[in-house]
Structure formats: structure tokens, C-alpha cells
């Protein structure tokens, strides 16, 4: 295979190096998150066991800093800076492209807007020193020893799988954004309806209170006369007809509002409880993901999915203790906690 000038690798070699380190990066992410969360998570944007950012990162570091491969401290400094800048650019780019924050280091000290942080930058530098000085030369030897026919076949297979996986993952993100949009719109409609009904009730309450306060200020011998007239009016046919008319009018308004609210709540519950493996995998793979457009809906969806997963685990471990009718009680208890 023809070597590219300055880069000192052929495209054939670069592809295999990329796949190898993308897979190793995925393994590192899985181990890291297992230690952090106590459970397995299929990390990465793709469904396949690869994290492309690691593959691109190693190729970039190897090509650019090969002259520094015999050093330690200079290599550590420049690779820390480069990998941190690369992580920042990827984070910003994915946020602009998919309207979501895929990782968040806000809980770490010395972070920049949650995209990068000092601890991870140091780990990038240490990792690059180990990779460039020790591991990468061995990987390059193995790639060059591989039969070319086998290597080309693997390139074709991996390329097809990556393209299919990439399309599937992008579709999953689009489904997630559409779902969040619908949840957000229904939430706003329910909120506006509640506010409108509440404002009307509040206004009428204030008007009644104002009238009551005025009557209370004038509480004298006329009060008894007023009560007698009021009692006489409501006992008359005219009064009863008027009160029946008011009751019917407000009854229809309340019934209509209740029907619409119940319909919106039903749609909301269907969206929030909808099971979609591709969407759930993304949310599980990126536990700190945040939507830049529908942050509240995203958090509500993440909470609901966690609740469902907790119930499923309890059913598997203690099936006799958790009845189907108890699910809503469990959800309520989780939310109160």
C-alpha cells in the first residue's frame, strides 16, 4: 500500500489503526462507566463497540507528534492540549448538529462550561504518552503483518457496518428530538390551560372577596335585610333559574377543560412511557446528556426511563414481591424520594 507523504501511513494502515483504537476506547469507556455507575453501559454514539473519537485522536496524535515520541514531558503537554481542544470541538460540533450536550464535566473541578476539564485533560496526556511510546509501534507492526487480502476484506465489512450504524444512530437522535418536542409542546399546552383556568378562578375569587369585604365594612342593620332579600331571591323561580343557568355554564366549561386536559395527559403519558431501545441506549450511554432545546422534557424522560428500568430489575430479582398493580405506586414512591 502506498504511504502518504509526511503522514507516513497508507490509508489502509490508518483505517485499521483507527478501528483498533476506536474499539480500545470503547472498552476504556465501558470500564470507566461501570466503575462510576456500577452497571454495564454500551458507550459511544454508535451501537457498535467502537468510539470513533479515540480512533481519530490516536491517528492525529501519532501523525503530528511522531518527532516527540522519544520524549515524555513535551509529548505529555502537547497531546494534553491537542486532545482537550479536539474534545471541545467535537462537543461543540455535536451540540450544534444534534441540539444536545452528550457529556458534561460540570461536576468536575476546573472545567470549561462542562465540555472539558483538567482531570480528563491530564488523563488524555498520560494515555497518549503510553500509546505513542509503547503500544502504537506494536499495533503498526501487527497491521503490516496482516495479509492484505484479509485486511481489505475487513475494511469493506467494517465500512458497511459503520455506515449502517451511523445512519441508525442519527435516526435514533432524530426520533429522540421529535419525541422531546412533542412532550414539550403538550407540557406547554397543559400548563397554559391550567394557568388560564387558574387565572379565571383567581379573578372570580378576588371579585367575590372584594364584594364580601365591602359588605363586611357596611355590616349594620342592613345586613339582616340583605340576607332576607338574598334568601327570598334564591328561593324564587327567577333565582333558581339564574343559579341553574350559571351552574350549567360553568359545568360545561369545566367538563370541556377536564376532557382536553385528560386527552393531553394521555398523549403525554404515552410519549413519556414509550419504549424505544435505540433511544434508551443513547440515554444510557450518555447519562449526562442534556437537550439544548427541551431540557425539562429530556430530564423527565430520563427519570421515567430510569424508573421503568428499576421496576424491571426488581421484577427479575423479586418477581413474587412486585405485582403488576403496584407499578404506579412504585413510580409515585420513586418520584417522592
* pLDDT value, residue 276: 77
Distance of CA 260 to the CA centre of its chain: 28
| CA 88 – CA 256 distance, rounded (Å) | 51
| CA 201 – CA 203 distance, rounded (Å) | 5
| Mean pLDDT in order along the chain per 10 residues (337 residues) | 81 94 92 81 83 91 87 93 93 87 88 93 94 92 93 95 92 86 76 61 62 59 60 63 61 57 70 75 80 79 78 69 48 44
| CA 158 – CA 58 distance, rounded (Å) | 18
How many helices and strands (H and E) does the chain possess?
Answer: 11, 4
Burial of 202 (0-12, 13-18, 19+ CB in 10 A): exposed
H or E element at residue 221: helix 221-235
* pLDDT value, residue 12: 94
| CA 224 – CA 215 distance, rounded (Å) | 12
CB contact at 8 A, 100 and 292: yes
Q: How many other CB atoms are found less than 10 A from the CB of residue 234?
A: 12
* pLDDT value, residue 203: 64
| CA 55 – CA 83 distance, rounded (Å) | 12
Amino acid at each position: 500500500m502506498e504511504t502518504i507523504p509526511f503522514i507516513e501511513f497508507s490509508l489502509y494502515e490508518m483505517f485499521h489503526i483507527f478501528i483498533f483504537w476506536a474499539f480500545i476506547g470503547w472498552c476504556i469507556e465501558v470500564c470507566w462507566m461501570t466503575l462510576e455507575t456500577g452497571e454495564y453501559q454500551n458507550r459511544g454514539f454508535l451501537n457498535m463497540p467502537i468510539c470513533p473519537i479515540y480512533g481519530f485522536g490516536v491517528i492525529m496524535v501519532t501523525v503530528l507528534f511522531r518527532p516527540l515520541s522519544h520524549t515524555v514531558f513535551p509529548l505529555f503537554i502537547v497531546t494534553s492540549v491537542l486532545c482537550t481542544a479536539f474534545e471541545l470541538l467535537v462537543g461543540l460540533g455535536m451540540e450544534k448538529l444534534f441540539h444536545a450536550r452528550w457529556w458534561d464535566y460540570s461536576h468536575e473541578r476546573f472545567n470549561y462550561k462542562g465540555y472539558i476539564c483538567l482531570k480528563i485533560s491530564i488523563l488524555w496526556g498520560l494515555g497518549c504518552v503510553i500509546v505513542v511510546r509503547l503500544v502504537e509501534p506494536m499495533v503498526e507492526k501487527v497491521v503490516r503483518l496482516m495479509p492484505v487480502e484479509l485486511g481489505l476484506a475487513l475494511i469493506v465489512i467494517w465500512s458497511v457496518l459503520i455506515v449502517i450504524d451511523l445512519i441508525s444512530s442519527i435516526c435514533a437522535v432524530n426520533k429522540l428530538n421529535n419525541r422531546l418536542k412533542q412532550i414539550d409542546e403538550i407540557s406547554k399546552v397543559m400548563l397554559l390551560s391550567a394557568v388560564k383556568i387558574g387565572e379565571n378562578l383567581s379573578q372570580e375569587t378576588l371579585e367575590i372577596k372584594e364584594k364580601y369585604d365591602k359588605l363586611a365594612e357596611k355590616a349594620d342593620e342592613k345586613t339582616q335585610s340583605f340576607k332576607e332579600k338574598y334568601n327570598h331571591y334564591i328561593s324564587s323561580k327567577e333565582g333558581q333559574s339564574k343559579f341553574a343557568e350559571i351552574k350549567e355554564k360553568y359545568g360545561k366549561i369545566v367538563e370541556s377543560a377536564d376532557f382536553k386536559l385528560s386527552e393531553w395527559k394521555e398523549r403525554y403519558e404515552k410519549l413519556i412511557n414509550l419504549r424505544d431501545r435505540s433511544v434508551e441506549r443513547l440515554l444510557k450511554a450518555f447519562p449526562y446528556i442534556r437537550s439544548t432545546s427541551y431540557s425539562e422534557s429530556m430530564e423527565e424522560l430520563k427519570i421515567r426511563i430510569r424508573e421503568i428500568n428499576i421496576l424491571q430489575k426488581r421484577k427479575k430479582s423479586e418477581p413474587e414481591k412486585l405485582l403488576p398493580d403496584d407499578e404506579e405506586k412504585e413510580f409515585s414512591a420513586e418520584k417522592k424520594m
